[in-house]
Chain A
Amino acid sequence: AQTVTQSQPEMSVQEAETVTLSCTYDTSESDYYLFWYKQPPSRQMILVIRQEAYKQQNATENRFSVNFQKAAKSFSLKISDSQLGDAAMYFCAYRKTQGAQKLVFGQGTRLTINP
């Protein structure tokens, strides 16, 4: 079974600085999708960024980028120029390409932004 591990329960960063959140996963599949979701106190799950495993190029979305290391099964999220609104729980998630379409989530990392 696929598993997703986020080893950092909490992280903090100064406003305007850069922070990296770690995620590793375990799968025997060669093709799959990876996601980062943000969950602010409102509880809404917001998609931050997605990566397709067959693409070698790392995905970027404005201040958010990933470092996807397929061989190491690592999928870290880098947030540049951190803003107060980035404070939230961040969840890494995995989805197979074929078959069951469920998302498998990590335990989450609580990110605090210090003004």
Chain B
Amino acid sequence: NAGVMQNPRHLVRRRGQEARLRCSPMKGHSHVYWYRQLPEEGLKFMVYLQKENIIDESGMPKERFSAEFPKEGPSILRIQQVVRGDSAAYFCASSSGQGGIYGYTFGSGTRLTVV
């Protein structure tokens, strides 16, 4: 029973390129959350999605960042025209319909490096 799968594990992009991060939630989970972790800091909430719906994007930068969770396939976090400040670890978590009151299951993260 695979957990939350994130890929790629490491991603290197040049400034100005696009980064696409993928997250497949745990089987049976329909809620996906994206978090960003800067070096030596805690995780910061970005966006919460259910299938085909964005529920809460209050932590998402207004420009260049977008997220989706289509009916079929993984959730995608997309960063356009990346800058050095986007370098971070991006984590995806999933939960069941109870919304994570028992805690979320996290993926192993994607470390994005912008050069």
Contacts and interface: CB of A to CB of B under 8 A. Distances in A.
Contact of B108 (A6, A37, A43, A52): A43
A62 interface: no
Contacts of B89: 43
B: interface residue count bin: 20 to 34
Interface string B58-93: 110000000000000000000000000000010101
Contact of B100 (A45, A101, A105, A108): A101
B51 to A, nearest CB: 15
B109 interface: yes
Given A44-B108, A101-B31, A102-B59, A50 B42 contact: no
Contacts of A101: 31, 33, 48, 55-56, 95, 99-100
A100 B48 contact: yes
A107 B42 CA distance: 4
Nearest to B31: A101
Interface of B: 31, 33, 35, 40-45, 48, 55-56, 58-59, 89, 91, 93, 95, 99-104, 106, 108-109, 111
